[in-house]
Amino acid sequence: MIAYLRGIQFHLPDAVRTNDDLVADNPDWDADKIYAKTGIRARRIAAADETASDLGYAAAEKLLDEVGIDRGEIDVLLFCTQSPDHIMPTTACILQRRLGLPSTCGALDYNLGCSGFTYGLWLARALIVSESARNILLVVADTYSRYCDLHDLTTVTIFGDAGAAALVSASREGSLARIGPTVVGTDGRGEENVIVRSGGARMRQPRSHLDSYMFMNGPAVFAFALTSVRSAIGHLLERLKLDWSEVDWYLFHQANAFMLDRLRTVMKIPESKMPVDMEDIGNTVGASIPILIRRQMDAGRFQSNQTCVLAGFGVGYSWAMTELTWGCG
């Protein structure tokens, strides 16, 4: 069996937080310097009563309406988030009800950040290839803005909120791309470098107000990306028997412009093959790659039989690199 990407969509919340807004709260910051460092001018921010499941639901509704699939044909719902509605129940179960998916549909959450979409493609493809499912709804959404201290330059300038959804199917009809293999990896030594300490079983209540917010060691994350991302893509290309120059598109998690530029330079990837598209939405965590794909698709940039390498990487540390062959429907 072969797995196909049949559709992809995303949803952004209405509220916008600009660099000027951040400077208003932090008068010693400079809006132009924030943009120069991050490549971000604005981020979308979830409303106080808006959760990741709300963003994922909106993206999934757009996708299901666009593709036109009978919801009774959805076999599995995979929901990736690090900002679930509740500790329990599983947010995917809430989404199954809201989306009107059948009770025969399997539904599960998995907790990953910026590698979440490519990990999801890996899981979905495995379910298709093993003939365990024929149609899988993959939803990724997060509200990282809730974890950002408004006075922490390393986080609040970077992250925005979003939801995205993809339909992975055993049916080639009307598909956008064929989903190829994925190379995954993990390095738990990065646990302390991107972390929200309180709220889980290890620390139910914060010991200080900072425990409720994200801590990110930017230099350590940057160093991790420079080594692990290049190595993992190299392993994927070896598996595909492709040279770096034979890949048409490198679609990276939209972390920040400085990191992406450095990765592109180190890997000697032409700028034309590695789009950066986050200026108006920021780093949307697991949703960043599907948003990038949809925006590039809408701009008419992909052509039939082009090879795309998707690179998801981040908190954990975790990474997953997936190959797509575009336009095979």
Catalogue the active-site residues. Answer: 114, 253, 283
Backbone angles phi, psi at 159, to 5 degrees: -90, 140
Report d(CA 91, CA 319) in Å as an integer. Answer: 23
Q: Is 212 exposed, middle or buried (0-12, 13-18, 19+ CB in 10 A)?
A: middle
- Asked whether 3 and 170 are in contact (CB, 8 A), the reply is yes
Report d(CA 110, CA 134) in Å as an integer. Answer: 20
Structure tokens at 185: 């990896």
CA distances from 99 to 32, 91, 117, 179, 241 (A): 42, 12, 20, 25, 40
Secondary structure of 81-104 in the HEC alphabet?
Answer: CCCCCCCCCCHHHHHHHHHCCCCC
Q: Report DSSP state, residue 159.
A: B
318 closest CA partner among 166, 167, 125, 112? 112
260 closest CA partner among 295, 300, 221? 221
